[in-house]
Amino acid sequence: MLTTPDLAPAHAVSENTEAQSQSDSPANLPHGTGVGSIFCDHMWYFAVAGAKLKRGAMVGKTMLGKMVLVGRRNDGQVFAMEDICPHQAVPLSAGRFDGNEVECTFHGWRFNSEGSCTAIPSLVSGQCMKVCGIKTKTYPCREVQGNIWVYFGNQPDSPPDVPRAYDIEDLSRFEKTTTTLVLPNHIDYNAVALIDTAHVPFVHKSWWWRSSKNMREKLKHYVPDQTGWTIVKHKPSKHSMVYKAIGDMIEDEIGFRLPACRIERIMYGGRTMISGMTCLTPIDDKTTELNHTTYWIKTVPGIAPLVVPIVQYFVRTFLSQDKDMAEMQQKCLAHNPKLVMTIRDAGTPGRWYFELKKAWNEAARTGRPFVNPVKDSFLKWMS
Ligand code: FES
Ligand SMILES: [Fe+2]
């Protein structure tokens, strides 16, 4: 359980000396996940898949514990604002949106996408009020690679780059679908699971994927990259029937970016055929939204409606297996157990996650440049 705002999940460690001797010293764990924040500050978070927000539509969400309205105007532009009417505090997303202005459901006050009030219907002639002086907070909002992101932090005029999936410079060359799940637990637990390779043979068992019986030693080259790392391009293991079937022309590259985005590209003959991005967004400090976007290269025109359900079936099967684990984990975390989270080398990316988050938040707080703490490393593990 997270008991203080800046404590990582690994705040409690086992007394088990055998486990400790095989792990990095628990004392070396970066306890602070941030300075004054339990999430990454000054950061973009995945809000909603662009295709799920048509022109003239809006959606109310809780992100990082805040009520946020995300909308798309009639001209296609996306925007985000606090989803609380500044009059008497009802969600603005419960009202109507005409593609230009949001109308509150309680007394009909209207707000434009810049958050300024444009009308107060109850005013009669002679009652002068500068309505545009009434504002609701807005958030920077961008649509990148077909997904909508919202910025949280106190430097909205100079936000960092939005995390990006590999090789999606020209979205028109790709089909795309996004699968959304809600996971229990603080984002830190889910982020560690996202980059944890040791669970794969035990959790992701499917007849069409792999079993836990044929584990082998893996050796992967990790290099620091942007706000995370990249596992250098490699041939995927032959554990999977899928990869076995596709053959030797396949190469895989996997990366991680803050706040908690796992990116992957699968190349065939040196060309990216599939690019994936799994993004975690805290709903609050006990719940996390996961959005996985799969992009695949357009081949036969008109085939996407047939392919999308197949892609969604595989993605949902995988993610449901992770969700089952997270739900079991939630029951145990309620008892505030002591944990050993730093087993070398399989647990090293989890440790890097906390180091990255701490370094990022310190840079955001102090204004100093972010220095990526990840070291160029070869990591080994069985899976
Ligand atoms: S509460 Fe929104 S208009 Fe009154
Ligand atoms: Fe998993």
Ligand 1 centre distance from Cα of residue 281 (Å): 29
On whether the CB atoms of residues 45 and 147 are closer than 8 A, the answer is: no
Asked, for residue 4, whether it belongs to a domain, the answer is: no
Ligand 2 centre distance from Cα of residue 112 (Å): 41
- Domain boundary among the residues 123, 152, 181 is at 152
Q: Both 47 and 121 in a single domain?
A: yes
Q: Both 25 and 138 in a single domain?
A: no
Ligand 2 centre distance from Cα of residue 176 (Å): 21
How far, rounded to the nearest angstrom, does the alpha carbon of residue 350 sit from its chain's CA centroid? 15
**pLDDT (tens digit, 9 = 90+) per residue, 80-107?**
999 999 999 999 999 999 999 999 999 9
Ligand 1 pocket list (CB less than 6 A)? 85, 87-88, 90, 104, 106-107, 109
Q: Helix and strand tally (H, E) in the chain?
A: 6, 19
**Mind giving me the DSSP string for 275-291?**
EEEEEEEEEETTEEEEE
CATH code of the domain covering residue 216: 3.90.380.10
Residue 31's pLDDT band, with cuts at 50, 70 and 90, is very low
Min mean pLDDT across 1-10, 162-171, 321-330 is at 1-10
Ligand nearest to the CA of 105: 1
Q: Both 340 and 201 in a single domain?
A: yes
On whether the CB atoms of residues 290 and 309 are closer than 8 A, the answer is: no
What's the whole-model pTM score?
0.88
Q: How many domains does the chain have?
A: 2
- Domain boundary among the residues 129, 152, 175 is at 152
Q: Which two tokens stand for residue 233?
A: 């391009």
Sheet of 147-152, strand order: 43-49, 147-152, 141-144
Ligand 2 centre distance from Cα of residue 154 (Å): 33
Its domain, for residue 299, covers 9-39+161-382
What pLDDT score was predicted for residue 301?
79
Asked, for residue 175, whether it belongs to a domain, the answer is: yes
Residue nearest to atom 1 of ligand 1 (CA): 88
Ligand nearest to the CA of 205: 2
On whether the CB atoms of residues 81 and 139 are closer than 8 A, the answer is: yes
Residue nearest to atom 4 of ligand 1 (CA): 107
How far, rounded to the nearest angstrom, does the alpha carbon of residue 305 sit from its chain's CA centroid? 26
**Measured between alpha carbons, how far is 79 from 46 in angstroms, rounded to an integer?**
13
Ligand nearest to the CA of 123: 1
Q: Both 175 and 313 in a single domain?
A: yes
More confident residue, 9 or 380: 380
**Measured between alpha carbons, how far is 107 from 204 in angstroms, rounded to an integer?**
51
SS3 state at 171: helix
83, 85, 103, 135: which to mutate for ligand 1, most atoms within 8 A of CB? 85
Nearest atom of ligand 1 to the alpha carbon of 89: 1
Ligand 2 centre distance from Cα of residue 199 (Å): 7
Asked, for residue 360, whether it belongs to a domain, the answer is: yes
What pLDDT score was predicted for residue 126?
83
The chain-wide mean pLDDT, for the chain, equals 86
